[in-house]
Amino acid sequence: MAVMRLADMALGQEADVFVLLVAKEELRTKNGKPYLRVTFRDASREVTVPIWDDSPWAAECRETWQPGVFYKVRGVFRQTNFGPQLEVRKIRQ
């Protein structure tokens, strides 16, 4: 898989990126569904990642992902009504 900068990813493109986790918030939707909003960035772009409570990443995100730590993420770049997002396929420190 190609390693890219976030800014170089096209819509719908899957790639590996090295990013800094800059924020992690526990939130709820208007209907009360819990999720984590995680923000990653590199030198060129910032993206959010919604981690739903039923996601395979939810427990790991809640327990071990920490702001200020760099991660290698394999993901798909999406543009949504909520801004640029990355759909996580794989992640490691």
CB-count exposure of residue 41 (10 Å: 0-12, 13-18, 19+): middle
Q: What is the pLDDT along the chain (93 residues), one digit of tens a residue?
A: 889 999 899 999 999 999 999 999 999 999 999 999 999 999 999 999 999 999 999 999 999 999 999 999 999 999 998 889 999 999 999
List of residues 6+ apart from 35 with CB closer than 8 A = 26, 27, 28, 29, 50, 51, 52, 53
Q: In the prediction, which pLDDT does 82 show? A: 85
Report how far apart, in Å, the C-alpha atoms of 30 and of each of 20, 25, 51 are.
28, 16, 16
Q: In the prediction, which pLDDT does 1 show? A: 82
Q: What is the CATH number of domain 6-92?
A: 2.40.50.140
Q: Where are the domains of the chain?
A: 6-92
